[in-house]
Amino acid sequence: MISAKPHLRTTSLYKILEYNYLIFPPVLVLTFYVCYAFFRFQLDKLNISVAGGWDWTTVVHVLLTFICTFAQAPPYSNVWGLCLPMRPFAYARAPLKRSFKTLRICLVTKGTNFETVLNSVHQWEDLRQHSYLRFHVVIDDENCEELRKALPSFVQIIQVPGPNIFRTRKAKYKARALEFYRQQQNLSKEDWVLHLDEESLIDAASVQACFDFILGGEAQIGMGTIYYNGVNHWQNSFLSAAEVTRISDDFGQFQLPIRICGRPLLGYMHGSWVLINGAVENAITWETACLAEDFWFAYNAVSRGFKFGWLHAVVREQPPETLRDFFRQRRRWYTGIFSIPNVFVRLSLMTTVIGPISFFVWPLFTLLNKREPIPHWLFVWLLWNSVSHGYTIVVASVLQDLVTAGVSWSSLIVHAAKSVVLWPFVHLLQAFALVSCLWQPAKGFAVIAKS
């Protein structure tokens, strides 16, 4: 396995992804052919026909599969995002188009995950040679004197005042802290802010990607890929597999609309590893009570016509440590997104979370229910749905492991297999979290435990 420093492993990864359009499509086609041949052989052994006609089960499955497939925007977005040219070095190779004064690294914390914050800030030590950088930790708690003393001197600590001193019209929780930071910093169009969660681990490649984006790009907002291998990598199989599904979604739901249209789908934006121009922050602000302040910000930025781009570097984070934290985290996201007053946002969320379950449930039901024959084309379509989604999960798992120190080739294979097997159960739990928000929305901003 690769044993270099994180930023060197990242650079090596993107040298491979520069040729993604030559690597992944033929491998996907070969994978589908092998699966097709295998299942046709198994069905023939079991005397199950895939050359039948139409009956009521066929009609139901075609309609449901059609709805859940084409409700995605666009259909098979993860596959398209994986196979279309990524051009990861486009900004680095572009001529200089603009200048800037400062890049401010902003980490927001409640201070409850003390060691996590210190570990993240420790990664900044090697970045201090860049004169453009400013290092800021925003503490949204008045009783964090111990954390203030533990942070290194090169970090500027910004304490969010209590509600009696700093009042907002709407902003609550993290949005309130971000709004105070925005006002306190007096940002201009020559300033950029890199927003991070308290467990986000950046390196030289991350910062260089920001510089390239600012100097060689035209977009005002950048978002990048997050891998969940910073801490506790595959210590809990289910929780790690759940984050692999998020990496898979980065190819399509998050990255593809930005690469093609220069804007995210509706408001799908990460809450961390987000680079925003100061003038954009001043135009949109963080004045929102939405529990998904990142989605709200992107949704409003899209409506105002601001342009987005993709940061081709990896920031490392960690999965939740318990199922309870996983469930609470998803409920907060879904409650926040559902609060956006747009029917298409809500439909998109429901089809994104619930729809993929059909790619596993319906083929099994169709093939095994009384062994009723189905049309051959429907068999091919249902198999394609499962194989293509499973393929993106495998690729996401493998790419994450390739930039993780100490992962053996055997572990890489096991992790990929676990990700595929656990993927339907992850979606079932997420679907339950989504449905639970319909009758009892999440209350407050749950800060999950991190190590």
* 258-308 pLDDT per residue, tens: 999 999 988 899 999 999 999 999 999 999 999 999 999 999 999 999 999
Q: pLDDT tier at 2 (50, 70, 90 boundaries)? A: very low
Average pLDDT for 214-236: 95
Q: Sheet harboring 133-139: ordered strands across?
A: 156-159, 133-139, 102-109, 191-196, 274-277, 221-227, 308-316
pLDDT value of position 35: 93
Tokens 């500027």 label which residue?
Answer: 156
Q: Which residue has the higher pLDDT, 450 or 2?
A: 450
Average pLDDT for 129-139: 94
Tokens 């319909």 label which residue?
Answer: 438
- Cα–Cα distances in Å, from 290 out to 139, 153, 163, 175, 176? 20, 34, 18, 8, 11
Percent over 90 (pLDDT), the chain:
69
Q: For residue 139, which phi and psi values (nearest 5 degrees)?
A: -105, 115
Q: pLDDT tier at 5 (50, 70, 90 boundaries)? A: low
Per-residue pLDDT at 77 exceeds 70: yes
Average pLDDT for 163-171: 92
Concatenated DSSP letters of 90-119: HHHHSPP----SEEEEEEEE-SSSHHHHHH
Residues 387-408: b if buried by 16+ CB within 10 A, e if exposed: bbbbbbbbbbbbbbbbbbeebe
Per-residue pLDDT at 64 exceeds 90: no
Per-residue pLDDT at 368 exceeds 60: no
Query: How many Å apart are CA 211 and CA 202, to the nearest integer?
Result: 14
Average pLDDT for 345-364: 73
Per-residue pLDDT at 198 exceeds 80: yes
Query: How many Å apart are CA 390 and CA 369, to the nearest integer?
Result: 23
Tokens 């009758």 label which residue?
Answer: 439
Average pLDDT for 422-429: 90
Q: pLDDT tier at 122 (50, 70, 90 boundaries)? A: very high
pLDDT value of position 1: 29
Which range is most confident: 146-150, 308-312, 317-321, 372-376? 308-312
3-state secondary structure of 172: coil
CB atoms inside a 10 Å sphere around CB 276: 25
Q: pLDDT tier at 371 (50, 70, 90 boundaries)? A: low
pLDDT in tens, 10-36: 888 999 999 999 999 999 999 999 999
Average pLDDT for 220-227: 96
Q: Which residue has the higher pLDDT, 215 or 424?
A: 215
CB atoms inside a 10 Å sphere around CB 386: 21
CB atoms inside a 10 Å sphere around CB 340: 20
pLDDT value of position 73: 66
Average pLDDT for 434-440: 92
One-letter amino acid at 295 equals F
| Dihedral angle sign, alpha carbons of residues 1, 419, 259, 108 | negative
3-state secondary structure of 253: helix
Paired with 276 in beta bridges are: 193, 221
The first and second tokens of residue 124, run together, are: 């900044």
Fold of the domain built from segment(s) 97-339: Spore Coat Polysaccharide Biosynthesis Protein SpsA; Chain A (3.90.550)
Around 192, how many Cα atoms within 13 Å sit in the side-chain half-sphere? 25
Per-residue pLDDT at 47 exceeds 70: no
Average pLDDT for 110-127: 92
Query: How many Å apart are CA 220 and CA 103, to the nearest integer?
Result: 13
How do the domains of the chain map onto residue ranges?
18-84+345-439, 97-339
Tokens 């429907």 label which residue?
Answer: 378
- Cα–Cα distances in Å, from 362 out to 62, 275, 358? 10, 41, 5
User: Considering only 55-69, 288-302, 372-386, which range has the smallest mean pLDDT?
Assistant: 55-69
pLDDT value of position 4: 42
